[in-house]
Amino acid sequence: MDLSLLKELNRALRERQSVAVVTLTRGVSAPGMSVGDQCLVDPAVGSALMGPLRLSGAMVGQVLEIIAGRESKPLHIRTKELECDLFVEVHAAPPHLLIVGAGHIAVPLASMAHLCEFQVTVLDDRPQYASQTRFPTADQVRAAPLVTTLQSMRNVGQLDRHTSVVLVTRGHQHDVDCLTELIGDDLAYIGMIGSKRRIRAVWELLESEYNLDRSLFGKVHAPIGLDIGGRTPAEIAVAILAEIIMVQYRGPQAAMSMRG
C-alpha cells in the first residue's frame, strides 16, 4: 500500500470516519492503470484521494454508495472507455449512540456502548451532569440546550441512519420535546424511557396537541429496551444496549437457548 494512502487511512481510523480503500483487481481495458493500484475514497471529500488509482466521478459515486452500505464488496466497471474490476474495502465508522440525558442510566450505558465500539455522545443541559469526568469513555459530552443542540447536530450530519438515540432525560416534557424534534429523522434507532402508562400518555399528547400522525410512533422503541427483568441502572442499560444491537443486526428477540 502506498505510504501516503496508509497515513490517510490511519488518520481516518483514528478520527472514526468512514472511508474505503479501492483496489484494481482486473483491468480488461484500463489505460494508465495497473492491477494492484489503489486509492482511498473519503465521503467527507466526495473524491478519490492518495494512491496511483484514478477514478472518474461516476466511479467514485458508486464507491460512495458501497461505503454507505458499510460492507466491502467487488465492483465491476464497464464504460465506453474502460472495463475493470475493483474491490472496495470499506472501513466504516462505528455506529453512533446519542444518549440524551446524563442521569443514572446514562453512565453505565455510555460505558457499555464504548466497550461495544459505539461512538458515544452524551447530551444534557446540566453541566454538573454532562461532564467528561462522569463519562470518561464517551467520545463527546455536551452540556447544552437539548432541542437546539439536536437541530445543530442534524445540520452537520451527526443524526443519520447509523445513529441510535436514547431519550433518558430527567423529565417527561424534555423527552417529549426531544422526541418531537427527532421522530421524523431517518435514524437507526430511537428509544424512550418510561412505563407503558406513561408512554400511552405521550402518544395521546403527541397526537392531540402536536398533531403528529400516529403511524410515526411505530418508529419509537418505548418502553425502551428488551424485557430481561432488569431493575438497577446498569441492568436497564444492558437491556437498552441489547435492543439497539438487536435492531442494528435485525436479530430475533429470543434467547439463544430457545432457538430450534
DSSP 43-105: TTTTEEESSS----HHHHHHHHHHHHHT--EEEEEE-SS-EEEEEEEEEPPPPEEEEE--STT
Same domain, 141 and 77: no
86 pLDDT more than 90: yes
Question: Looking at the domain assignment, is residue 258 inside a domain?
Answer: no
What contacts 24+ positions apart, CB below 8 Å, involve 139-144?
139/16, 141/102
Statement to judge: residues 123 and 159 lie in one domain = yes
Are the CB atoms for 29 and 78 separated by under 8 Å? no
Banded model confidence at residue 3, pLDDT cuts 50, 70, 90: confident
237 lies in the same domain as 125: yes
Q: Provide the pLDDT for residue 51.
A: 66
Percent of the chain scoring above 70 in pLDDT: 93
Confidence of residue 50 (pLDDT cuts 50, 70, 90): low
At 153, which CATH number? 3.40.50.720
pTM of the predicted protein model: 0.77
Mean pLDDT, residues 186-202 taken together: 90
- Is pLDDT above 70 for 154? yes
Confidence (pLDDT) at 43: 85
For residue 121, being part of any structural domain is answered with yes
CB 154 within 8 A of CB 98: no
Q: Examine the domain organization and report whether 112 and 137 are in the same domain.
A: yes
**pLDDT reading at 217 higher than 80:** yes
Reply yes or no on whether the pLDDT at 90 is more than 70: yes
Neighbours of 196 (CB within 10 A): 9
- Residue 31 predicted with pLDDT over 70: no
Q: How is residue 253 written as a grid cell?
A: 428477540
Main-chain dihedrals φ then ψ at residue 216, nearest 5 degrees: -70, -25
The reported pLDDT for the residue numbered 29 is 65
pLDDT value of residue 141: 97
For residue 200, what are the CA distances in angstroms to 12, 48, 185, 211, 214? 44, 50, 21, 15, 11
- Looking at 91, 107, 129, the residue that finishes a domain is 91
Domain membership of residue 259 (yes or no) is no
Question: Does residue 254 belong to any structural domain of this protein?
Answer: no
Q: What is the count of structural domains for the chain?
A: 2
Among 91, 110, 145, the domain-final residue is: 91
What is the average pLDDT value for the chain, to the nearest integer? 88
pLDDT at 226 over 80: yes
Structure confidence by residue, pLDDT tens digits, 235-257? 999 999 999 999 998 877 766 55
Query: Quick one: 235 and 112 in the same domain?
Result: yes
255 inside domain: no
pLDDT (average), residues 126-145: 96
Q: What is the pLDDT of residue 255?
A: 62
State which residues form the domain around 165: 96-248
Question: Is 104 within a domain?
Answer: yes
Cα–Cα distance for residue pair 232/131, rounded to 1 Å: 22
